[in-house]
Amino acid sequence: MAAETLKRAEALAPDRLERVLGWAALVLLAAALAAIVRGHAGWGSVPFAIWLHLATVIIALTLTPVILWQKRGTRLHRRLGTIWAGAMFISALDSFWILETNHGHFSVIHLLSAFVAVQTPRLVLTARRHDHVAHRRTVRGLVIGGLLTAGALTFPFHRLLGRWLFG
């Protein structure tokens, strides 16, 4: 009984990868906010779809370390996780209306958006089934692929955040 309780506590505690992912989310959040502030002169020409996308990504980036570093299974974890999943899902769907970079066509990043749109409902289902292993794997995939990789790909010089940050 005590060994089982200890094993469950270890399974729900943040590990090294989750701590690193939380810090990476904070670094990306700082870069995104710096780019937005630096790009204030161009705010008026930014379409609504991009503003919605930025807002939902900022919510997800802000919540990522909070959720990954706190105790799992609590009411707060579930509520913040629901907000995080909603932000990720809206961000993924909204991205399909962002076509400025690739001459009006989808880009490689849209493959990550499709991944997020498919995996976010899976994330919710695994949480509701209390399938901790699948839930943790899905969270890591969404953070690494849908948030950090896609986010990093928005900073090359020809993309909006890259132009604003590196101007």
Q: What is the pLDDT of residue 46?
A: 95
Question: Which CB contacts under 8 angstroms, 24+ apart, belong to 135-140?
Answer: 139/68, 140/17, 140/18, 140/21
Sign of CA dihedral 84, 86, 91, 93: positive
- Digit-coded pLDDT (tens) for 50-92: 999 999 999 999 999 999 999 999 999 999 999 999 999 999 9
Distance (Å, whole) CA 32 – CA 12 = 30
Q: Could you tell me which residue, 58 or 10, shows the higher pLDDT?
A: 58
Q: Could you tell me which residue, 154 or 125, shows the higher pLDDT?
A: 125
Instruction: Please check the confidence at residue 8 and state whether its pLDDT lies above 70.
Output: no
CB–CB of 67/76 below 8 Å? Answer: no
3-state SS assignment for residue 19: helix
Radius of gyration of the chain (CA): 17
Question: Which CB contacts under 8 angstroms, 24+ apart, belong to 26-34?
Answer: 26/61, 26/65, 28/61, 28/147, 28/148, 28/151, 28/152, 29/58, 29/61, 29/62, 31/155, 31/161, 31/165, 32/57, 32/58, 32/61, 32/151, 32/154, 32/161, 33/58, 34/165
Distance (Å, whole) CA 154 – CA 162 = 7
CB–CB of 100/134 below 8 Å? Answer: no
Distance (Å, whole) CA 145 – CA 111 = 10
Distance (Å, whole) CA 34 – CA 164 = 9
The pLDDT of 116-133, averaged and rounded, is: 96
Give the count of alpha carbons within 13 A of 151, CB side only. 28
> Worst-scoring range by mean pLDDT, 1-15, 18-32, 110-124?
1-15
